[in-house]
């Protein structure tokens, strides 16, 4: 099965804001929502929105202002719906 890429910025600004604390939380969330076989979490170079907190990208959507404290809430409110929408469009989501 081809996985969709979910990018987490690993650039220096995002690094300073705690991306290495965000990373394990994201991996846990992908596991919790049974997305490990559908979504590939990848590090990315600077996504060029450094002043908006830690940044993630899924397809053409950018998710900004992520922090180690809010990553779970942001994932559930913003990132997960985008992933589920995309997966359902290609008929790969189990509902
Ligand atoms: S370092 Fe992350 S957006 Fe620039």
Residue 2 is predicted with a pLDDT of: 84
CATH 3.30.200.20 describes domain 4-89: no
Do 27 and 19 meet the contact criterion of CB atoms below 8 Å apart? no
Structure tokens given for 19: 């991306």
DSSP string, 17-80: TTHHHHHHHHHHHHHHTT-TTTEEEEEES--S-GGGSEEEEETTEEEEEE-TTTHHHHIIIIIH
The answer, yes or no, to whether any atom of ligand 1 lies below 6 A from the CB of 49, is yes
Residue 89 is predicted with a pLDDT of: 85
Atom 1, ligand 1: which residue's CA is nearest?
A: 11
What percent of the chain stands above pLDDT 90?
88
Domain ranges for the chain? 4-89
The answer, yes or no, to whether any atom of ligand 1 lies below 6 A from the CB of 10, is no
Residue 91 is predicted with a pLDDT of: 63
Q: Which residues of the chain have pLDDT under 50?
A: 93, 95
Q: What is the pLDDT of residues 26-50, one digit of tens each?
A: 999 999 999 999 999 999 999 999 9
Residue 86 is predicted with a pLDDT of: 93
Residue 94 is predicted with a pLDDT of: 52
């Amino acid at each position: 099965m081809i996985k969709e890429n979910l990018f987490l910025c690993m650039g220096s600004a995002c690094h300073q804001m705690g991306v290495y604390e965000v990373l394990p939380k994201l991996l846990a969330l992908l596991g919790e929502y049974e997305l490990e076989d559908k979504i590939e979490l990848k590090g990315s170079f600077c996504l060029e929105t450094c002043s908006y907190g830690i940044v993630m990208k899924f397809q053409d959507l950018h998710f900004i202002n992520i922090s180690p404290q809010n990553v779970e809430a942001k994932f559930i409110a913003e990132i997960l719906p985008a992933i589920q929408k995309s997966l359902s469009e290609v008929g790969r989501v189990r509902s």
